[in-house]
Amino acid sequence: MTPGVVGEIEAPGTRVAQARRAMGLTQRDLASRLGVSLWTVEELEGGRRDPARHLDAIAELTDRSEGWFRGQVGDEPAAGVLMPQAHAESGAASGSARGRGLVLASLGALVLVRFFTEVLGVLPRALNFIDIPLLAVLVVAAAALHVHPTEREEATRYLPAAVLVLLLCVIAALANPSRVELGPVLVFVYGFLGPLLLYWSVYRLWPPGSALFLSRLLVGLLLVQLAVVALIDVPRFLSSDNPDEISGTFGENPYQLVFFLLVVAAVLAGIFTFEHRRAVARFAPALFLAILGVILLAQYRALLFTTALTILVLTLVLGSARIRGLVAGVVVAVAFVTALSYTSQAFPILNFAPVVSTFQSDPTSYVSERGRALSHFARLYGDEPRYIGTGTGPGTYSSRAWQTFSQINSTSESNVQGRYVSLLTGGEAYGTDVSRKYVEPQFKKGKSIQGSKALTAPFSSYGALLAEVGLLGFLVMVGIYIRAFAQAIRMTRVARLRAHPGDPLPALVFGSAMALFVLLQMGFLENWLEVARVTFPTWILLAVATKEFRARYGSARI
């Protein structure tokens, strides 16, 4: 007997999932043949329902003995039925709970670690870089798994494009040998391509039938954010009149809190629509109001338009699914208007009135202002057309990688990496001829619009890609995100039409779509496609949603 194949696998639900996959069946296929609901199959495979009642039928459908599902020693699959694959799948199944735990723990650590390093200060700030060892652990764990060929295919969906981006980075570096340095190049590659490697890892590790675990974690993390804001951030804000105090567990990074709340608001709207029997669904209207109130208190005004647009899309998508979805969308929209009205009147220091007035008089003003701020890369192309093809080199112009090494002496509290980079560079700030000519002057003279320089800053993931790896690198990288967004939208369309009451999948799929929708906008506003606490949760959510979707419906529709 192979260790870990029979003796270690005793959960019947895990073996049901393994046998189903070995036969090439989706959860929907198995549910149809058993004459039960899709939700029943998910509960069976997730270990939340005893499969004894259905075991004889499942054994017959998968051509295995009932004893095999109970983990009885000596009970192997019937002769001739995918024996090598059965052993491989058994090995994968033995680590299913472990893989799920790794994924959930990683997401929790990413969201909470800054609370302990920056808010409470009880852990060293070096742990802010926890995303790096977490990715390494997930990659190693995923590589050790034996998975079904169809799962390997889906897991590598984005890797060919990622390899192309990596190749273009190498070409850009070789074309600019006097300008690039190893450190910025590695940070650039990690920032843009790390999330794609994370998707591969999470997809391999996540066991289908566990969607509810992720949903509960997201709701739990939401409650933690609201508690921290209410008990710690708001009192500090009221005593200092500094809206930067509103950051939840994200330390000195309120925009990360805003992103997280928008994503969880979408998941919560999905729960309200499709899982109305869950306890949290009953409190959804109050939670929507609290979420949007916190977003407004955080006063990250550059994301106000993004928030409004996300709520509009949320309303349209859910409203087209069913009446309860329309109610959810309307409730969120009303909560947004109510929260905006209240915070504008109760906290005049936030200066929302001028922002709202600007939106009403000229809705395109922020977009046009942002476009002017990013015109510097167009001047770069005009001055040196070869950069259209080769770029200036990864980490040399305006990416977060460039900022990491060029602003090591910044006194900003959020500049955690400065002290560590300084040790690597001997305290010497990094600079290039192109950044000094095009980026730094604009950064220094950038004007403040309604109290914020976000719209006039020369930083954007899109501009950084265009400048540093050329037009092709930009098209491939942005194309990856657009493809992922289209994938999430397609899954949302299928899941919302075929969902049964209580299914946690539609909410997760919808949350992944909204996460990518917000992230695509944020890449225009700053270098957020390179921020792990924004990109990593997005790709974790997409990987889990895709894995769960394929278990139910197969791959034809995505």
The predicted structure's pLDDT at residue 77: 47
Mean local confidence (pLDDT), 477-494: 94
Kindly indicate the confidence band of residue 5, based on its pLDDT and cuts at 50, 70 and 90. Answer: very low
CA distances from 520 to 8, 25, 161, 178, 555 (A): 44, 35, 18, 33, 25
Candidate ranges 319-333, 473-487, 542-556; pick with highest mean pLDDT: 473-487
Mean local confidence (pLDDT), 210-214: 92
CA distance 374 to 103: 37
The predicted structure's pLDDT at residue 415: 54
pLDDT digits (tens, 9 = 90+) for 83-113: 333 333 444 444 578 899 999 999 999 999 9
SS3 label, residue 363: coil
The predicted structure's pLDDT at residue 450: 55
What single-letter DSSP state applies at residue 398? S
Mean local confidence (pLDDT), 527-546: 96
Q: Which residue would you say has higher pLDDT here, 354 or 238?
A: 238
User: Does this model's pTM top 0.85?
Assistant: no
Structure tokens at 472: 């092709």
Kindly indicate the confidence band of residue 56, based on its pLDDT and cuts at 50, 70 and 90. Answer: confident
Mean local confidence (pLDDT), 61-70: 78
Kindly indicate the confidence band of residue 23, based on its pLDDT and cuts at 50, 70 and 90. Answer: confident
Decide if pLDDT at 194 tops 80: yes
The predicted structure's pLDDT at residue 80: 36
CB 209 within 8 A of CB 423: no
Q: Which residue would you say has higher pLDDT here, 544 or 309?
A: 544
Residue 285 identity (one-letter amino acid): P
CA distance 256 to 248: 9
The predicted structure's pLDDT at residue 91: 40
The predicted structure's pLDDT at residue 86: 38
Mean local confidence (pLDDT), 480-493: 94
Structure tokens at 430: 């990094």
Mean local confidence (pLDDT), 177-188: 94
The predicted structure's pLDDT at residue 452: 60
Domain-by-domain residue ranges, the chain? Answer: 12-83, 365-467
Decide if pLDDT at 45 tops 90: no
The predicted structure's pLDDT at residue 2: 35
The architecture of the domain spanning 12-83 is Orthogonal Bundle (1.10)
Percent of the chain with pLDDT over 90: 43
DSSP assignments along 261-304, one per residue: HHHHHHHHHHHHHH-TTSHHHHTHHHHHHHHHHHHHHTT-GGGH
pLDDT digits (tens, 9 = 90+) for 313-368: 877 777 666 677 777 777 777 877 787 777 767 777 666 666 666 666 666 666 67
Decide if pLDDT at 243 tops 50: yes
The predicted structure's pLDDT at residue 101: 94
Mean local confidence (pLDDT), 403-421: 66
Q: Which residue would you say has higher pLDDT here, 68 or 396?
A: 396
Structure tokens at 444: 């220094």
Query: Counting beta carbons within 10 angstroms of the beta carbon of residue 56, is it exposed (0 to 12), middle (13 to 18) or buried (19 or more)?
Result: exposed
CA angle (555 as vertex; 550, 558 as ends), nearest 5:
100
Kindly indicate the confidence band of residue 73, based on its pLDDT and cuts at 50, 70 and 90. Answer: very low
Decide if pLDDT at 309 tops 60: yes
Mean pLDDT estimate for the chain: 82
pLDDT digits (tens, 9 = 90+) for 136-157: 999 999 999 877 777 778 889 9
Decide if pLDDT at 371 tops 80: no
pLDDT digits (tens, 9 = 90+) for 273-303: 888 889 999 999 899 889 988 888 886 666 7
